[in-house]
Amino acid sequence: MMILKLNVEMSGEGKTHVVLLHGWGQSTKAFETVSNHLSKSFKVFNLDLPGFGRSEKPPYPYGTKEYAETLKTIIEEYNIIDPIIIGHSFGGRVAIQYASNNHQVKKLVLIDSAGIVHKKALKYYVKIYLFKILKNVFKLPVLKNYRNRVLSKFGSTDYKNADEFMRKTLVKVVNEDLKDELARITCPTLLIWGTNDEVTPIQDAYIMNELLKDSGIVKIEKAGHFSYLENMSLFLSVLDVFFKEDQ
């Protein structure tokens, strides 16, 4: 794998190592408060994943396997031993892929994690087909000035906010169903979820809980996709309980 310049922020001197993996479009700043709290008892590694924050973009559109391989390289480079891995949303995808193939992970925390792919409704495929048609139509010189305005009506917020290169990565990872990978994870896993999450609904947590060998769910009532930010005090209290034996 090509060597990338990656931003890794280290803090704390604890014997147990914690790795933080942010969500799509985020950076180390998303876990800044969490890092500050955990660094009192643990050695914390807060990462900018490739293509985000101060880390370089990948050389080609990555899938979760490539992101997990990058994580493995970082873990080996920094001599991170039996880490606890915390992943939010897209970071959860990377954590799942890594933990499914590397059983040295001590514990796993998945926050509103992506990784479950549901069967799409017919209107989804109609919309995709229409998007592809319009994308080609608006290549015509007479229509080029209207291209961005029309095509901006399609796609998720993450897709709209990403550049052309990272959109290819996004399309690749969101279509990866990680149910088989979840079933291979052996470490204790905590699923923390906002009950009002509309991006990765609470039903995904129940599916993951069934697939994982050793897991439990903590629900943050009335919180959305960024449940840990919406109720940080509760989130940190839950982590303290889950990590009590590891300090």
What's the CATH code of the domain at 83? 3.40.50.1820
28 vs 49: CA distance, rounded Å: 9
| Residue 46: domain span | 8-117+176-246
What pTM was computed for the model?
0.85
Residue 222 lies in a domain: yes
244 vs 247: CA distance, rounded Å: 6
**Is residue 147 predicted with pLDDT exceeding 70?**
no
| 106 and 135 belong to one structural domain | no
Residue 184 lies in a domain: yes
Window from 33-37, 165-169, 237-241 with minimum mean pLDDT: 165-169
| More confident position, 155 or 245 | 245
**Is residue 109 predicted with pLDDT exceeding 90?**
yes
184: tokens are 């291979």
| 180 and 70 belong to one structural domain | yes
pLDDT at 150: 44
Residue 3 lies in a domain: no
Q: What is the dihedral of CA 106, 169, 179, 72, to 10 degrees?
A: -20
| 190 and 92 belong to one structural domain | yes
pLDDT at 119: 74
Identify any residues that bridge with 84 across adjacent strands, giving them in sequence order. Answer: 18, 107
pLDDT-based confidence at residue 127 (cuts at 50, 70, 90): very low
Residue 91 lies in a domain: yes
What is the number of structural domains in the chain? 2
**Is residue 239 predicted with pLDDT exceeding 50?**
yes
**Is residue 142 predicted with pLDDT exceeding 70?**
no
Identify any residues that bridge with 113 across adjacent strands, giving them in sequence order. Answer: none
| 149 and 189 belong to one structural domain | no
| 155 and 183 belong to one structural domain | no
| 59 and 107 belong to one structural domain | yes
| 56 and 28 belong to one structural domain | yes
Mean per-residue pLDDT for 197-210? Answer: 97
pLDDT-based confidence at residue 162 (cuts at 50, 70, 90): confident
Strand runs labelled E in 69-195: 84-88, 107-111, 189-194
Residue 234 lies in a domain: yes
**Is residue 151 predicted with pLDDT exceeding 90?**
no
| 110 and 126 belong to one structural domain | no
| 18 and 69 belong to one structural domain | yes
| 25 and 145 belong to one structural domain | no
| 72 and 97 belong to one structural domain | yes
| 35 and 144 belong to one structural domain | no
